[in-house]
Amino acid sequence: MDRSEIQKRVTSVVAGVLGIDPAEVLPASNFVFDLGADSMKSVELVAGFEEEFDIEMDADKAREVQTVEGAVDFIADYLK
Amino acid sequence: MAGSPDPGRSRLESIFSPQSVAVVGATRVPGTVPYDIFHNILKDDFQGTLYPVSPSAKSIAGVKAYKYILDIPDPVDLAVIVFPSSVVKLAMEQCGQKGVKGVIIISAGFREVGPAGVQREQEIKDIAQKYGMSFIGPNCLGVINTDPNVHLNASFARRMPAEGSIGFLSQSGALCTAVLDYAHAKNIGFSKFVSFGNKADISDIDLMLSLKDDPATKVILMYLEELTHGAAFVDAARQVIHEAGKPVLVLKSGRTSQGASAAASHTGSLAASDEIVDAAFRQAGVIRCQTIEEMFNNAIALAYQPLPRGRRVAIITNAGGPGVLTTDAAIHERLELAAFSDRTRDVFKRSLPVTANIKNPVDVIGDARADRYRVALGSALEDENVDGALVILTPQSMTDIDTIAEEVCNVAAAYDKPTYCSFMGETDVASGIGILQRRSIPHYVLPESMCRAFARAHDFSIEKDRRLTPAVRFSDVDTAAARQLLDAAIASGRTYLTPSDAMKVLEAYRLPVLRSAVAQTAAEAESVAAQLGFPVAMKVESDDIVHKFDVGAVVLGIETPAAAAAAYATILANVKAHQPEARVQGVFVQRMAGAGDEVILGVKRDPAFGAVVMFGLGGLFVEIFRDVAFRIAPIPLEHIRDMMHEVKASPILTGARGRPHRDTAAVEECLQRLSQLVVDCPQIQELDINPLIVRTQGDGCAVTDARILVSGAGHAP
């Protein structure tokens, strides 16, 4: 899967879980500071990514990911 | 910066009295810190403008929300950051760009959680410095200002306290909520209420100094868990107490003394951290309290009533037993029962029943109603022999409790002398107690607490006006010589100075060191002893033997040259038998001090407070009773005298039970010179002069043994 596809699907998961317009989800957006993800939403995001990409993420490392761009990189590593 | 004596008053203005506040990271979920902080500011009637900043909410509690603080069209004075710690730096960066000057960081997850948190804390400090912002926290409950013109409850406490004249500063947020609940039940109000958390920027010292100049604050209470800048804290507290005349009461936790057992000297093991804190507080005039209850018992006395000008109290009671209890408690606290004037006694005779006791304590009898209390209290306060009144009430069937409470308040308000009350009981007296509390008459459940509070208030009235002479600087000392000896020891890798070098350091500061020399042979010991004059004492000179008595390496009372030669051989033989691996540099020969009492002087360098000087009587008094006193150097003469009096065994030096009066003035001078030595020579980590022999008055004293532990970490000023 190429990076732009990952980006597109990450944006879709984020917008769906957080209930926001996909246009607001920018690569540099911080999940907490810019998009308002609280701790519950962060758990839902991880679950959403795992389902979307059919991967199982390391929960501790996933918690360290702060931005949309970071999530794309993190997921791309799993898909290699 | 944290710990500096910088008053930081203007820095705190935007935090205590903002015109506009943004809650950054607010949410719409009640019961969460981000929501409750916003809601508390809103519901508690903040007098300025409030903005919620939330990345996800359009509005919170009906107030339009902004996605970023930068989106707010108007200036923002104070930002309260409630985001998780991982993004606080992003919020801080935007606060800086917005031109915010004051920030409260509620969020936890910084220094208190380990290395990652330490780094996060440093990042926010760097951002604050870049933009010239000041912040309280992180990891705190928040800030409350009850000033009606501000009325800011930027905290997640359950309630906004009433307006009052007590400022409360706490390192623990959780304790704050308990204190607010306690104070609410007792009708105690506050001027400012601050939880300062990790004090990464604005410190406890900054806050204390800001309350010094706060006209709404009369009394400052602090809860502390650590004192990282002890010396600066003491300086600041002294300013508050002696310049502004405001009492500082501190509840300091962590009284245990880890590390004392690892100390290398007597002074090191005796000067546990908590004892140093005690000494430092005493030196500054801080009132140290052991419990929250004690702190508030003292605080209401100091905040509500005039300070007592003396210790003469009038006790007015409607019950004999409680009157006696109060008398006992008063005497225990070194208060005096006032002797009433003839005029006062005449009034009592005319106005009270014949069965009333018109001496002190004044018993107005169990059936007393408000009129008797009014006459008794008014006449007592009128009497020039009375410095304050302690009013006791027990609830009999005819006791008009509320009316008596009102009358007590009315009478007390007419005099510039303190009146404290103890309405004993619970249910029946509750309403009367409420009247007293609302009208600022200190009330105590127990007479003992009431007497203790009176005594502390009087102690403070003396302390605040106490003017100390600056610590003496002797000009006849040879600082260069002392430093040279200390530096040489450090350069040669020594931890301890040799006994002879230790004596030379003390000699350089003109401490009365006995004449001595080191002998390398038995013959040399003979001749050296003869030159010094008999009797002499001899002990091994060795870096490796700390406890010389234990290995038989000390011989006292040597009267002849032959005995000196024999002692030399004995000492070396004992060392060889008990500690054969020890390196021996010779045998130290010293003139004996003669008759006198033994005292110990010592020094320990504390990381928070600097050089701490100790005084105690020698032998058992130090070893078993730990009967010692401490002060932070440099020490004014008044505090040197205080520390000598604090030692319980000190009457031994001052002629108790027919003993000779010792030369205490010479001891004072030794303590002054020692204080100057350790200020001038930071290489000294620990020092014992043990014993100092104190001779009869006029004959001075003599240092017979000294140990100095050095470290190269310190640098001479």
- A30 in contact with chain B, both atoms CB, cutoff 8 A: yes
Question: To 10 degrees, what angle do helices B230-238 and B273-284 make?
Answer: 20
DSSP state, B243? I
Q: Do B66 and B8 touch, CB atoms closer than 8 A? A: no
Task: Name the minimum distance, in Å, from the CA of A32 to any CA of chain B.
Answer: 7
**Which positions in chain A touch B84 (Cβ < 8 Å)?**
32, 39
Q: What is the ipTM of this complex?
A: 0.92
Provide the b/e sequence for A6-34 (b: ≥16 CB within 10 Å): bbebbbebbbebbebeeeebeeebbbbbb
Query: Which residues are CB-contacts of B73 (< 8 A; sequence separation ≥ 6)?
Result: none
Task: Name the minimum distance, in Å, from the CA of A1 to any CA of chain B.
Answer: 31
pLDDT given at position B3: 40
DSSP state, B140? -
* Calpha distance B146→B46 (Å, rounded): 10
Q: Which two tokens stand for residue B525?
A: 């010991």
* Calpha distance B397→B401 (Å, rounded): 10
**Which positions in chain A touch B35 (Cβ < 8 Å)?**
none
* Calpha distance B42→B127 (Å, rounded): 29
- A10 in contact with chain B, both atoms CB, cutoff 8 A: no
Q: Is A54 a catalytic residue?
A: no
Q: How far is CA B697 from CA B26, B377, B663, B666, B667, in A?
A: 73, 50, 4, 9, 11
> Using the beta-carbon criterion (under 8 Å), do B56 and A35 form an inter-chain contact?
yes
**Which positions in chain B touch A34 (Cβ < 8 Å)?**
55, 67
A32, A34, A36: residue with CB nearest B86: A32
Task: Name the minimum distance, in Å, from the CA of B56 to any CA of chain A.
Answer: 5
Per DSSP, helices labelled H in B509-603 are 522-532, 561-578
Among candidate residues A2, A21, A34, A38, the one labeled active-site is A38
> Using the beta-carbon criterion (under 8 Å), do B56 and A34 form an inter-chain contact?
no
pLDDT given at position B105: 98
Strand partners, B248: B220
pLDDT given at position B2: 40
pLDDT given at position B305: 97
CB pairs under 8 A between A and B: 28
pLDDT given at position B704: 86
Task: Name the minimum distance, in Å, from the CA of B159 to any CA of chain A.
Answer: 26
* Calpha distance A11→A32 (Å, rounded): 15
> Using the beta-carbon criterion (under 8 Å), do A33 and B56 form an inter-chain contact?
no
Average pLDDT per block of 10 residues along chain B, 717 residues long? 45 94 95 95 96 95 96 97 96 98 96 91 97 96 97 94 97 91 94 95 96 97 89 94 96 62 52 80 94 95 97 96 95 97 95 91 93 97 98 96 98 98 96 96 96 98 91 95 96 89 95 90 93 91 84 92 94 94 91 87 90 87 79 94 90 84 94 96 94 91 91 55
* Calpha distance A68→A29 (Å, rounded): 6
CB atoms within 10 A of CB B586: 19
Query: Which residues are CB-contacts of A35 (< 8 A; sequence separation ≥ 6)?
Result: A14, A18, A20, A24, A25, A29, B55, B56
A18, A20, A30: residue with CB nearest B87: A30
**Which positions in chain A touch B86 (Cβ < 8 Å)?**
32, 66
* Calpha distance A18→A48 (Å, rounded): 11
pLDDT tens digits, A19-63: 999 999 999 999 999 999 988 899 999 999 999 999 999 988 998
* Calpha distance B82→B39 (Å, rounded): 13
**Which positions in chain B touch A66 (Cβ < 8 Å)?**
86-87
End-to-end Cα separation, chain A, in angstroms: 9
- A18 in contact with chain B, both atoms CB, cutoff 8 A: yes
Q: Which of B355, B373, B366 lies closest to B421 in space, CA to CA?
A: B373
Q: Which two tokens stand for residue B193?
A: 């209420």
Task: Name the minimum distance, in Å, from the CA of B59 to any CA of chain A.
Answer: 13
**Which positions in chain A touch B55 (Cβ < 8 Å)?**
32-36
> Using the beta-carbon criterion (under 8 Å), do B83 and A20 form an inter-chain contact?
no
* Calpha distance B482→B613 (Å, rounded): 18
- A66 in contact with chain B, both atoms CB, cutoff 8 A: yes
* Calpha distance B272→B260 (Å, rounded): 5
Q: Do B390 and B314 touch, CB atoms closer than 8 A? A: yes
Q: How far is CA B359 from CA B323, B368, B375, in A?
A: 11, 16, 14
Collapse the DSSP code of B598 into the 3-class scheme (helix H, G, I; strand E, B; otherwise coil) and give the result. Answer: strand
Q: Which two tokens stand for residue B701?
A: 């004293």
Instruction: Find the residue in B nearest to A38 (Cα).
Output: B84
Which strands form B152-155's sheet, in the order they lie side by side? B152-155, B142-145, B192-195, B166-170, B219-224, B248-252, B287-289
